[in-house]
Amino acid sequence: MQKNWIIGTVLLAATLEAGGYKIPEQSLDGMALGAAHIAHTTGADSAYYNPANMAFLDPKTRYLEGALNVVHLPSNDFDGVQIFPPSTVVPASASSEREWAAFPTMQYVHSAQGRWRWGVSLAAPAGMTKRWNSSVQKTFAEKFYLLTAELNPSLAYRVSDTFAVAAGLRLLYSEGEVDSDGIVNGIRIARQMKGDTVAAGYNLALAWHPGSGVEVGVTYRSKVKLNEEGEANLYLGGVGRQYHAKVSVPVPAALNVGIAKTFDDRLTVELVWERTFWSAYKTLDFRYDTPIPPALVPIFDDPKLKDWQDSDTFRLGLTYRWDERLTLMAGYAYDETPIPARTLSYELPDSDGHIFSAGFRYRQNEHLEWGLAVLYDHKTKRTIAPGENINGIVGSFDKGGAFLTTVGFAYRF
C-alpha cells in the first residue's frame, strides 16, 4: 500500500493536545483560547467551532482563515516494571521518543444568501503518535499512530435576529500504523501493520444571541467509526508472513456547550463544557483474512480491552480588544483522561491535563489580520499500582504533554 510519507510526517504527529486522541484546537483563535470558542466566534473558524454563528457574520462579507501549527511532543518518562505472564517481572524504566511535527488548518465562510449561509473547514480532529525504542516498551508499541483529516462542509440558517441553527457533514480520511518488536519467552515476535479508510458523520449546532452581550452556543459532532484496512506483516522467530488486516477505531461523539459575555465591547469571557463520549472505544480488535499462527493469537489477534470512559473538559477563554488593531487572548482548560488505569498501555499513557494558552491577533488593514498563539498541555503524573493494570504495567508515567505554536491569518473580502 503506497503512503505519502511527507504528508504523514507532517500530520500524524499532531496529537495529544487533549485527553485521549482528540484535537480540538483547529484555528488561531481556537489555539489561543484553548478551544473555549463555541459561543463567541466572529470569523471564518465559525465554520468549524460553531457553524450556526456563520449566520450572524456580516452577510455581504466572505471570510477566509488559515493556520500552521507546529507541535513538540516531549518524551513520556516511565519508572517501573513490566510483568510478563505468568509472573516474570522485568525492569522497564524508559522514556519515549521526542517528536516535532506540523499540521495546517483552514476555514472559509461564504457571503449570505438570504437567511442561508454555507462554510467549510479542513481540520485534523483526532490523532496520536507514540514511539518507544526501549526493549520492553517496543514489545508492545514500538510505533503507534493514527492520523485523521476532516473536510467539514456546513449550512446555517438564521431563524431570527437572535437565533440560528446549522448542520454539516464530517468527511474523514484516516491512516494508521502499528509496529512492535520484542522477545517473548526467548522468541522474537514482531508486527508491522498499515491501513487507511474513508468515513463520514455529521455535526449539528445552534447559536442564541439574546442581547446584553450574552451569546450561547451548542454543538454536537457525531461518532465516526474508522474501519482501517491494509496489510500486516507478522513475525514469529525468523519467519514472517503478510496478511490482509482490518481494525476499527472510533472518533468519538462530542457535545460542547458554551456561554460568553462581552463587557464594554472590549472583554469577552467564555465558559465551555465539553463531553466526549469515549465509551464507544470498547476494544482494539485486529482481524485477518486467514488464521495466524496459534502462538501469535494471544498477542496480535485476541481483542485488547480498552473500556474507555466518557470524559469532561472544562474551558475558560478570555478575549480582550486592546484597540482597533490588537486583540489579546488567553485560555485555560482542565481535561479529564478517558483511559482507566486498568487498561492503560504504552501506546497512549494518558493522564488528566491542565492546558494553558495565549495569543494575539493584529488587524493589518480592513481586509487582513494575522497573529500568533501558543499552548502548553501539562499532563499530571500517573501511578499504576500492582494488580491494577491488565497489561502488566506497574509504575509511574510522568511528563509528556505537548507544546504548540500557531501562526495564522484571516482575510475578509
Q: Any idea where the domains of the chain sit in the sequence?
A: 5-412
Alpha-carbon Rg for the chain, nearest whole angstrom, is: 22
Q: What pLDDT does 377 receive?
A: 95
Q: What pLDDT does 126 receive?
A: 65
Query: Which residue carries 509472573 as its cell?
Result: 87
List pLDDT tens digits, range 81-100: 999 888 899 999 999 999 88
Q: What pLDDT does 338 receive?
A: 94
CATH code: domain 5-412 is 2.40.160.60
Q: What pLDDT does 14 receive?
A: 31
Q: What pLDDT does 3 receive?
A: 35
CA dihedral 156, 159, 163, 169 (to 10 degrees): -20
Taking alpha carbons only, the member of 220, 228, 284 closest to residue 253 is 220
Number of DSSP helices (H) and strands (E) in the chain, helices first: 4, 25
List pLDDT tens digits, range 350-402: 999 999 999 999 999 999 999 999 999 999 999 999 999 999 999 999 998 99
The DSSP secondary structure of 285-314, one letter per residue, reads --EESSPPPGGGIIIIISPEE-----EEEE
Phi/psi at 301 (nearest 5 deg)?
-120, -40
The set of cell numbers assigned to 306 is 480498552
Average pLDDT for consecutive 10-residue bins of the chain (413 residues)?
29 37 83 97 97 98 95 93 91 92 92 98 79 91 84 98 98 89 86 91 98 97 91 90 90 95 97 96 91 89 92 98 97 96 92 96 97 96 96 95 94 97
Q: What pLDDT does 127 receive?
A: 65
Q: What pLDDT does 21 receive?
A: 58
Residues 6+ apart with CB under 8 A from 373: 28, 29, 31, 32, 329, 357, 358, 359, 360, 404, 405, 406, 408
